[in-house]
Amino acid sequence: MARLQEAAVKQIEEICDRYCDEKTPLMMILSDIQNEYGYIPLEVQEIVSAKTGISVAEIYGVVTFYSFFSLTPKGKYVIGCCLGTACYVKGAQKVIDRFSELLGIRPGETTEDGLFTLDALRCIGACGIAPAVSINGKVYPKVETGQVEGIIESYRKEASA
């Protein structure tokens, strides 16, 4: 496995330092790394282990337990289809199936060009506008299968612009 660049190592050590006064900082460190670095591969876990004294085994256990933490990089655009009950009874399964079909990936996977990751979300609390799709934080209300192609195209355009 490729070693990390010096800048990345520094960034991760800096994140660990933010929480040096906390009693049990692991969750906070991992959340920040996930947000700022995009994923938490083994090399990164080793650095966190060296900085905090928590064993890599324990860190790996935590990283793999929570669905927000990822061992592999996510796509530029993370498409989160809400599959909460309110969305589900209003046809969210069909919406995610359509994304899956058009992107050629299953939920949890990333397209080969690194552009899109498709995720099934458990209720984002936007039940009034079900079915909801959230892409990089922007929430699309009352999504219908017919709109899916247009949504994907708009991001493809944005990426190539």
Residue bearing tokens 């060009």: 113
Please identify, using beta-carbon distances, which residue of 1 and 109 lies nearer to other proteins.
109
Task: Assess 128 for contact with other proteins (CB under 8 A).
Answer: yes
Task: Assess 18 for contact with other proteins (CB under 8 A).
Answer: no
Q: What whole-number distance in Å separates Cα of residue 147 and Cα of residue 74?
A: 23
Question: Which part of the chain contacts other proteins (CB under 8 A), choosing from 8-16, 42-50, 92-100, 103-111?
Answer: 92-100
Which amino acid is residue 56, in one-letter code?
A: V
The answer to whether 71 touches 120, Cβ cutoff 8 Å, is no
* Tokens encoding 150: 């247009």
The answer to whether 95 touches 131, Cβ cutoff 8 Å, is yes
Task: Please identify which residue in 55, 67, 72, 154 interacts with other proteins, judged by CB under 8 A.
Answer: 67
The answer to whether 87 touches 127, Cβ cutoff 8 Å, is yes
Q: What whole-number distance in Å separates Cα of residue 74 and Cα of residue 84?
A: 22
Question: Which part of the chain contacts other proteins (CB under 8 A), choosing from 5-13, 18-26, 42-50, 108-116?
Answer: 18-26
CB of 88 to other proteins, least distance (A): 6
Q: Provide the binding-site residues for other proteins, judged by CB under 8 A.
A: 23-28, 30-31, 54, 58, 61-62, 65-69, 83-86, 88-90, 94, 97-98, 101, 121-130, 132, 137-141, 144-146
